[in-house]
Structure 1
Amino acid sequence: MPKKTIQRFLPDHNKIKQQKSLKIFGSLLHDANLWHLNRRSARGAFSVGLFFAFIPVPFQMVLAAALAIPFRVNLPLSIALVWITNPLTMPPIFYASYQVGAFALGQEEQPFHFEASWNWLVESLSTIGPAFIVGSLICACMAALLGFFVIDFLWRRSVNKAWAARNQQSS
């Protein structure tokens, strides 16, 4: 069940190999293990993808691919999960990350008003920046661990149900 559900949402691996931003990985993309979908590759891909979804840096997809290759986990799934943080979900996710960081550092939340300017960015790095970065790292690690264990549990449960159904039919 999880394998069929996940495969339905994954993009074609040939399209991913043709991405200009992934050309830097060259022949590393030809490793067959990066394209297989099994319990090990899915849980690792969830960890990698969810980790980079919560890290506020540009080129999250490239970073997810760079980590998926040496860990030999499913590359399309790692890249796709980064898009959990998209222009619609980024503000609430990153604000929650800031709140987690402020709590972890024992700071009170500081009121701020977003402005799309270089001055605002430089000023906010010293005021809300540390809490935001710490919170993002905490949320990234927690999401990666949660994704790993939830997918592992769901995959095992699905396999056990399939075996039970098979045993029941043969009886």
Structure 2
Amino acid sequence: MIIKKKISQFVDRVKKLDGDPHHIAVGMSIGVFIGITPTFPFHTALAVMLAYILRASKAAAALGVWIGNPLTMPFFYFTSYKTGQLIFKTSLPFDLKYTSLTELIKLGSDATLALMTGGTLIGILPAILTYFITWHIAKKVHLRKKQREHIS
């Protein structure tokens, strides 16, 4: 029930974003991608900066990073690390108490590289899916606004 309400609130926020559906969808995708990567203290800054560079919606990017929240971050960090571990064939310990990039860097370059590589890889598919879902929602909202303008 709570999750359904949160998703509904999130969709409402997306609907309130103004601009070209592609612009909004790219921004949201950037935010989701960055939100999944293990760059926790820098999520919003990185997403907005990347959105600025790629000329995407900075507001959508800032909204998208909220996929990385206290409930999802342990899963993302663990999955990122395990994915990177498989790629680099490392076997360093992983502990969910590490909650920021700076704490993880202290584990060493092997662990950091595994974590960042894994996070990048697992962020790609959700970012692509986010683009199409957001584009669809933004396109519907855009068309409804145009219809209302023609009626008025």
Report if TM-score (shorter chain) is over 0.5: yes
The change in CA–CA distance for 1:73 and 1:155 in structure 2 (over 3 A counts) is same
Paired-residue identity, %: 26
Counterpart contact for 2:25–2:60, Cα < 8 Å: no
What amino acid is the match of 1:143?
P
Counterpart contact for 1:36–1:74, Cα < 8 Å: no
Structure 2: 5+ residue stretches without partners: 1-8, 148-152
1:71 is matched with 54
* 1:9-48 equivalent positions in 2, closer than 5 A: 9=13, 36-48=18-30
1:85 is matched with 68
TM-score, normalised relative to structure 1: 0.59
User: What whole-Å deviation, never above 9, does each CA across 1:35-57 have from its counterpart, x for those lacking one?
Assistant: 63332122211221112112222
Task: State how far apart, in whole Å, the 2-side matches of 1:59 and 1:37 are.
Answer: 26
1:8 is matched with 12
1:151 is matched with 134
Structure 1: 5+ residue stretches without partners: 13-34, 167-171
* 1:131-170 equivalent positions in 2, closer than 5 A: 131-152=114-135, 154-155=136-137, 158=140
| SS of residue matched to 1:124 | coil
TM-score, normalised relative to structure 2: 0.65
Counterpart contact for 2:34–2:43, Cα < 8 Å: yes
1:148 offset after TM fit, Å? 2.0
1:126 offset after TM fit, Å? 4.1
Task: State how far apart, in whole Å, the 1-side matches of 2:108 and 2:92 are.
Answer: 13
The change in CA–CA distance for 1:122 and 1:93 in structure 2 (over 3 A counts) is closer
The change in CA–CA distance for 1:121 and 1:71 in structure 2 (over 3 A counts) is closer
1:17 is matched with none
Let me know the Cα RMSD of the aligned residues: 3.5
- The yes-or-no answer on 1:125 pairing with 2:108 is yes
1:83 offset after TM fit, Å? 1.3
Task: State how far apart, in whole Å, the 2-side matches of 1:115 and 1:83 are.
Answer: 20
| SS of residue matched to 1:144 | helix
The change in CA–CA distance for 1:73 and 1:36 in structure 2 (over 3 A counts) is farther
What amino acid is the match of 2:12?
R
1:66 offset after TM fit, Å? 1.3
1:82 offset after TM fit, Å? 0.6
Pick the structure with greater CA Rg. Answer: 1
1:68 offset after TM fit, Å? 1.6
